[in-house]
Structure formats: C-alpha cells, structure tokens
A and B are shown apart, each in its own frame.
Chain A
Amino acid sequence: MDAQHDHSISVEREREREREREREMACRQLWASRAASYLRISVFHRGFSNVVKDLKYADSHEWVKVDENSATVGITDHAQDHLGDVVYVELPEVGAAVTQGGSFGAVESVKATSDINSPVSGKVVEVNEALNSSPALINSSPYKDGWIIKVEISDNGELNNLMDSDQYSKFCEEEDSKH
C-alpha cells in the first residue's frame, strides 16, 4: 500500500514536471518567435561571436561547463555582444535552488535588463562576487572571469537538452539571419 502510494505520487510528479517543461518550452518558443518577427534587429558583429568547444549551451544564450556534479554557468559571448556594456549583475544567494530554463538573476546593460536562465537544475554553491564591483567582466571575459554561478547539479540527464558548440553556433547564425 505504501509502496503503491509512493509510486503514484512519483509518477504524478514526473508528469507534472513534463507538463511544466512543455509549457515553458512552448512559451519560450512563442516568445522567441514573436520577438524575432517583431523586432527584426539587424545585427552587426565584429566577426562571429566566440564559442568554446567543451561547453554546453542553452537557446537563451547561457553556457555551462560541467565537471561531474559541479557546473559553472555564465552568459555567452553572443549574449554580451547583444547586450552591450554590462553595468550591473543581480546575483542569486548561495544555497538557492535553480531549475533548467528558470531565471536565477539578471544582467543590466546601459539600456536594458535581461533575465539569466539556468541551463541546469540544482543548488547554487558559489556566486562570482567580483561581478558586484566589475560587471564589465561579462563583456571582457564571458567564458572565464565573467562566470556567474556555480551549481551542484541534481540531474545530469538534463545536459542532453542543451546544444554543443557547433549546434549553438548554427543556432546563433539562424537567429541572427531571421532578424
């Protein structure tokens, strides 16, 4: 009876997570589609934005570097190029829970605010305090000194939802060509 009950709850939770993920993906795709068709930004690049080979990438332009259960997260060079000069980074608290695709902080440029979404689920174990006094590190060094959070990963399987560097480069080119 207990085993059966626990199993039911577990299955239901799994279904709920799937439904949430589907809703979130649908909303994100809808937003991206509308934003792309609506804004039509013609983008100048100083050449192609840089990507790093051994990282994983989210379609909301964050990167993640995984070392067993430890992940380092930041925003991509493509993202900081679009943002312009970063003047403030809103960091989460150590210990905060993050979920894949969910917002955990914000980046402020001279003109605009952008949410930062986590590419993985888990718990924040470290934040880059240097960004409090030097937010421009995100512009100058998005893949190294400009990292944002470190996460203890709860589900390595989620990495399969992310892009590798080649896929991400292609994704950015397609996104730019639509604008």
Chain B
Amino acid sequence: MRGGLWQLGQSITRRLAQGDKKAVARRYFASDAELKKTVVYDFHVANGGKMVPFAGWSMPIQYKDSIMDSTLNCRENGSLFDVSHMCGLSLKGKDSVPFLEKLVIADVAGLAPGTGSLTVFTNEKGGAIDDSVITKVKDDHIYLVVNAGCRDKDLAHIEEHMKAFKAKGGDVSWHIHDERSLLALQIFGCCVIAHSFAPTSCYLFSHDLVMVLLLLRFLQHLTKADLSKMYFGGFQVLDINGVQCFLTRTGYTGEDGFEISIPSESAVDLAKAILEKSEGKIRLTGLGARDSLRLEAGLCLYGNDLEQHITPIEAGLTWAIGKRRRAEGGFLGADVILKQLEEGPKIRRVGFFSSGPPPRSHSEIQDEGGNNIGEVTSGGFSPCLKKNIAIGYVKSGLHKAGTKVKIIIRGKSNEGVVTKMPFVPTKYYKPS
C-alpha cells in the first residue's frame, strides 16, 4: 500500500511547481536541508506535527488530531494555522493603486482604506497567474499576500511590470515581508460573540462559546482596537502585546477569523498564547485540514482549480471584477475576460456531490450518455457533510445545479450531481 499523506504532499507540491519544470526535477530529490522552515517549525514538531514538503517548505500537514477531527474542530471551535510559507508584501507610492490595477482584476481604487478583497493576477490571455488577498492600508500603501507555490513567478511578474511602470515616471516601490510570519486564526462564533456584548444577545452564550469569548477578550485585551467593528475583509495595523501586527479579518476556510502578520521573532510566543488562552478549544491545525475546509467552502486552490489557462470568469470569480473594471478593463487579458463576460465562457467551475470513492484531481466527468464534459480539479470526502464533494469544470450549459453526471474513478463510473457552492455555509463576520 502506497500513498496516504505522502501522496497528498507529493500531489500538491508537483501541481504548485507546475510552472517550473526545473524546480520539479530538483525538488523530487530534495533533502531536508533544501526545504525552507518557518520560524514555527520546531513548535510544530514539538506538538506532533507531521511535516511534509509543500511548495519548497517543510509544513505541517497534520498534528495529533486526525484531519477529520481537525476540520470538524475548526468549524465547531477554531483552528490556528501556520501560513508563514505564504508571501506577504507591501506596495508603496503615490501610484501604487494604478500600478496594481494593471495587474489584478479588483477595483483597488474603490476599496476603502482598511479594507481588502480576494483578487486574481491575470496574464495577457486573461488566465490566472495567482489568486491573492489584497488590502488597502492607505491610498499610497497596498498590503497583499500571495500563494507560496506562486511566489517566485508572482514576484518576477510584479518586478517586471514595476520596472516598466517606473520607467514611465510612475511612483511605486515594494517591500517583501520576509521578516514577518503569518498565522491564521479561525474561530467559530466570533461574530455571535462580538454582537453578544449587547445585552439582547446574551442568550446566545453556551459553554463552548464562553471559551471562545475568553479568546476574543484575550485578543481585544492585547490591542486598543475595537475588533467588533472590524468586518470581513477589514485590515488594521495594530499592536498585539506590544508588537506591531497586520491584522486582516479573513481566512480561507469559510469561517470567521484573522490572518495575523507578526514579526517572526514573536510568532511562536503569540501561537502559544492563543492556544493556552483557548484552553484546548483552538487547536493547531495542518494544511490537510485547511484543504478540506477551503474545499467545503467552495474556494479555489491555485494549481488545482485555478491555473494559467483558466480565467476568473470560468472560475466563477466574476464577482471579484469590480463594476468599474468591467466597464474600463485596464488589466492584463482584459480583452479576453470582457469578451467572456459578454458572451459567456465555454467552461464553468461547479461543485459536485457523488457516490463511491471520493473524486480526486483529474477524474473525468461525463454526461449520462458517457460523453466527456469536463474534469474534477479538487475533491475528497467532506468531514462536515460526511459525503464526497468535488470542484471541477464542465462545459457551459451543463453547469446548472441538479445536472446528473458520471465521475470516472479508476475506470469505473460513479453517480454524481452538480451542486451550488459553498458546500458548507460560510460564517464571515459582516455588518448586519
């Protein structure tokens, strides 16, 4: 028997390294010494982390809890993830907004200071170079985080365009936050608790929520900012326990929570403090569970559901193209994308439920007559729903919820049906 967690690590690493054949060849025989380590590495190992190669890093795929239990606990209580392998950077300068708008589909100018959004970097054919969470700190300062596996090509892409932009007199510069680490704290019930400071919400308390309340108070205690007024997508630079952090109210799991960018020398201390204050409710959680969570939330994994040849329209991310940008374009590949907006794309990303073995990447999708209509790009067993879920692309016209399909796994045909996403409802903290 081969596979298990080995297979997952191998599969994800290969896909993320797809754009660089040399990297694949080199990484195949990488020794431990060649994998980078986050500053939290030793803490992972001490806490039973199973470390696997991921995009050139040694990352925890799982701890003592099973992936199933970790996923469920994130939705019931909360999780703490080390996502320091992801790359954070700042763009600064009077023209940083128009510069970035050449590269991404978001309406960056329309973002209020202190807010952010998921966006896509596009290539000249409208395909996705990477997805990224961007936030406007001020009109002349953009903070963004890109995927670990895309870091090298993203930075090369940005640098190339920045040179050309500055050569024409544009005012923009950048800083890569390699001196910082990134922790993702996802907390169930945070929004309930925030509102529960009002007397009318007190009946919502329960024993488990008390623990989470203690954690929220812990965070609130460490900073003067009022976190109850910081909504999904919100961003603040603030002191936590005397250390300057970038706090973004976001995650990639469907739950409420925060991504905390903290100076690397303080990252382990903060991780320990969060875990201790939550008295075991918030659990260290690995990338295996994180992948289950984002899949249940119907979110794209770059390298699987998003690639250079897939446009945001095909991926169902039309919502991320601001209204003004749909009218004006101005980003790479705009002609392709705006045409797809007008005419409709030929393929569409959809969700599936299925019977039999869990679908995985590259499982063929057929219509009921046995004709190929697409391919699975992500799939697995949903710990929350206790059934198979998958994301894939099908021909337009066959994308409506309820459409019956066959998913081919190891040569056998299995019943499937198209469904809307998210599979598990999201719980983002938004103004009521």
Contacts and interface: CB of A to CB of B under 8 A. Distances in A.
Q: Do A and B bind each other?
A: yes
Given A40-B53, A88-B356, A109 B2 contact: no
Interface stretch (B5-13, B126-134, B326-334): B5-13
Nearest to A87: B381
B49 A90 contact: no
Interface in B53-92: 53, 58, 62-64, 66-68, 71
Interface stretch (A41-49, A120-128, A150-158): A41-49
Interface in B5-48: 5-11, 27-32, 35, 45, 48
B291 A42 contact: no
Contacts of A82: 4-6
A39 B52 CA distance: 6
Contacts of A109: 4, 67, 381
Q: Is the interface of A mostly helix, strand, loop or mixed?
A: mixed
A113 B28 contact: no
Contact of A110 (B3, B9, B28, B381): B381
Given A39-B53, A43-B50, A87-B381, A112 B5 contact: yes
Contacts of B11: 112
Given A41-B9, A44-B48, A110-B288, A84 B4 contact: yes
A79 interface: yes
A56 interface: no
Interface string A140-158: 0000000000000000000
Interface residues of B, number: 44
Given A84-B68, A88-B356, A88-B357, A41 B1 contact: no
B119 interface: no
Contact of A111 (B45, B49, B64, B291): B291
Contacts of B1: 60-62, 75, 79, 107, 114-117
A115 B410 CA distance: 11
Contacts of B50: 41-44
Q: Is the interface of B mostly helix, strand, loop or mixed?
A: mixed
Nearest to A103: B1
B28 A34 contact: yes
A166 to B, nearest CB: 21
Contacts of B35: 40
A83 interface: yes
B122 interface: no
A99 to B, nearest CB: 15
Interface residues on A, range: 35 or more
A85 B67 contact: yes
Contacts, number: 124
A148 B62 CA distance: 27
A75 B383 CA distance: 23
Interface string A18-57: 0000000000000100110111111110100000000000
B380 A110 contact: yes
B357 A41 contact: no
A42 B28 CA distance: 17
B365 interface: no
Contacts of A112: 3-8, 11
A106 to B, nearest CB: 7
A108 interface: yes
Which of B8, B28, B49: most chain A Cβ within 10 A? Answer: B8
A150 to B, nearest CB: 18
Contacts of B357: 88, 90, 106, 108, 113
B49 A42 contact: yes
B358 interface: yes
26 contacts: A38-B27, A39-B10, A39-B53, A40-B52, A46-B64, A60-B2, A75-B1, A79-B4, A83-B3, A83-B5, A84-B288, A85-B66, A85-B68, A106-B357, A109-B4, A109-B381, A110-B66, A110-B380, A111-B7, A112-B3, A112-B4, A112-B8, A112-B11, A114-B4, A114-B7, A115-B2
Given A46-B64, A113-B360, 5 more contacts: A38-B27, A60-B2, A111-B291, A114-B1, A114-B7
Interface of B: 1-11, 27-32, 35, 45, 48-53, 58, 62-64, 66-68, 71, 288, 291-292, 356-358, 360, 380-381, 383, 410
Interface of A: 31, 34-35, 37-44, 46, 60-62, 75, 79, 82-85, 87-88, 90, 106-117
In the A-B complex, the 3 residue pairs with the closest CB atoms: A114-B3, A87-B381, A44-B48
